[in-house]
Amino acid sequence: MTIGIWVLGDQLNLQQAALAGADPTTARVLLLESSSVIERRAYHAQKLVLVWSAMRHFAADLRAQGWTVDYLQTERFSSALGEWVEQHGIQELHVMEPVDRGFRAAIERLPLPLPVHWIANNAFLWSREAFAAWATPYKQLRMELFYREGRKRFGVLLDEDGEPLGGQWNYDQENRKPPTKGLSGPEPLWFEPDATTAAVIEKVSALQERHGLPGSPEPFRWAVTREQALAVLDHFIATRLPGFGPFQDAMVSGEPTLWHALLSPYLNLGLLHPLEVIQRLETEGLAQQVPLAGLEGVIRQILGWREYTHGLYHWFGEDYASVNHFEANAPLPSWFEALGGSGLRCLDTVFGEIKATGYAHHIQRLMVLANYGLLAGLDPQALTAWFHRMFIDGYDWVMLTNVLGMGVFADGGRLASKPYAASGNYIKRMSNYCKGCSYDVKQRTGPKACPFNSLYWDFLARHEPELKRNHRMGLVMKQLSKLPEEELAAIRSSAANHRALAAAGSN
Ligand code: SF4
């Protein structure tokens, strides 16, 4: 019997479940590079280069391991898949369960001459069933409880009695330092494109001309092989891990990466497995005597947040994609698609960084981009789709929970206990963006007023009855109630002016 194994573009790991259970001497592997993906989503050019180059390199790695591999470049994967099955007499097709729900549905719609044999996905620490078993008894799910359970279950950062190292589960309070003057992080490890990547860049450049994809495919410096991804992990542990904690929430112009790990693109492609990353961080971080707050902080991102959002994506189910708690419906202003031109220095700085590499770190995403979306009442589905297309590590499973739940509270609190709304004051405290901005972060009314200020108070006022009921919002709602009526009216008028300006150039 000839078994065919179709390896998807985010399953690039030799230990992935469909490959792990098969015999390289009899099975035949397929990788499909289909340009039809950009008809549904105009992805950032760097993201296409990353995924396709990593797929091509993975095919070469598989061949070197003795697998028979067919790598097909096609316009449509549906016809290419059917032809491949027929041409090679494939009798059973094995696919590791895709992480993104839509992909399985798309495969199931294909007119294939044989059934697909789905193999349970092993790219995460928590299977969907294990997450469901954990979540079932709770009325209200919280990441912190899930994270503690993960620490115990996988034996991470525990002392001999099974208690958290250092006596605390979470040291986040120590990890929120604002940037100091001239703050700069170590140089990241980047790579020059080899001949394979250069060929992909050429293809993506041609597609960009035809389809107007965002971002620029060059210079492209991301890792595209497991070997390179492991080198990024080594480099992070050696040069960035000791400094990661204190400034992980800081934002500095000209310093897009600071001490961030830059591992998410490789974890999400399968080039690295989360368990190996966590174990290396723990072992080597403890050996290097890295401050526990920083070590715990980075491990929480992977063992806690990443696993949690993946688990929730499947736990919440399909309907979650359409949640819109605040009934927000403003279209995205044109500067989102153009990746610049808003006139707000914070937004334009982050847009510029995304344009160059498809990357921005978690606080830029949450407290600048998503915060703006929340305050300005942008359509949450349009915003989520934008995040998915623009970010080098963006996938459906990542962005639904992160943007809809954490970013804009569109799920009404199923994920976060309060909306992450902040005025310009937060951005001023945590970045150096406000210096040199044409808006004044100290003003909340008038033409020079920082739009984050007027939008913030306007947001609170628009949703006052509901937000008053959230005890975590108590303090700010009290401040709102103390604002003189005329001042609130002036703030709301400034917010309306900004929204009109944004809408005038909306897509
Ligand atoms: Fe952003 Fe307001 Fe600061 Fe300008 S003043 S950078 S708009 S927060």
Cα 151 to ligand 1 centre (Å): 39
Asked whether the predicted pLDDT for residue 487 surpasses 70, the reply is yes
> What is the mean predicted confidence (pLDDT) over 179-195?
96
Of all residues in the chain, the percent with pLDDT exceeding 90 is 90
pLDDT of residue 225: 98
Domain made up of 334-504: CATH architecture:
Orthogonal Bundle (1.10)
Fold (topology level) of 128-316: 1.25.40
Cα 215 to ligand 1 centre (Å): 24
426 lines ligand 1 (CB under 6 A): no
How many other C-beta atoms lie within 10 A of the C-beta of residue 435? Answer: 10
pLDDT of residue 262: 97
Mean pLDDT of the chain: 95
Higher pLDDT, 2 or 432: 432
Q: Do domains 128-316 and 334-504 have the same CATH topology?
A: no
pLDDT of residue 175: 83
The 3-state DSSP class for residue 116 equals: strand
pLDDT of residue 323: 98
439 lines ligand 1 (CB under 6 A): yes
> What is the mean predicted confidence (pLDDT) over 436-448?
95
- In this predicted structure, which of 90-99, 174-183, 304-313 has the lowest mean pLDDT? 174-183
Cα 346 to ligand 1 centre (Å): 6
Domain boundaries, the chain: 3-119, 128-316, 334-504
> What is the mean predicted confidence (pLDDT) over 272-299?
96
- In this predicted structure, which of 101-110, 272-281, 498-507 has the lowest mean pLDDT? 498-507
Give the residue, by CA position, lying nearest to ligand 1 atom 1.
Answer: 346
313 lines ligand 1 (CB under 6 A): no
- Distance in angstroms (rounded) separating the CA atoms of residues 481 and 495: 18
375 lines ligand 1 (CB under 6 A): no
Integer Rg of the chain from CA:
23
pLDDT of residue 507: 47
Atom of ligand 1 nearest to the CA of 424: 8
The 3-state DSSP class for residue 94 equals: strand
- Distance in angstroms (rounded) separating the CA atoms of residues 308 and 315: 10
How far from 72 is each of 15, 33, 95, CA to CA, in Å?
22, 6, 16
> What is the mean predicted confidence (pLDDT) over 165-180?
90
Over the stretch 498-507, which tens digit does the pLDDT of each residue have?
Answer: 999 999 865 4
Give residue 380's region: left, alpha or beta (phi > 0; psi -120 to 50). Answer: alpha
> What is the mean predicted confidence (pLDDT) over 284-308?
96
- Distance in angstroms (rounded) separating the CA atoms of residues 315 and 318: 9
Cα 445 to ligand 1 centre (Å): 14
> What is the mean predicted confidence (pLDDT) over 447-465?
97
- In this predicted structure, which of 8-17, 27-36, 72-81, 376-385 has the lowest mean pLDDT? 72-81
For the four alpha carbons of 237, 238, 240 and 245, in that order, the dihedral sign comes to: positive
Instruction: Look at residues 485, 78, 143 and name the one whose alpha carbon lies nearest to residue 306.
Output: 143
> What is the mean predicted confidence (pLDDT) over 414-442?
96
CATH of domain 3-119: 3.40.50.620
pLDDT of residue 358: 98
Whole-prediction pTM: 0.96
Asked whether the predicted pLDDT for residue 100 surpasses 70, the reply is yes
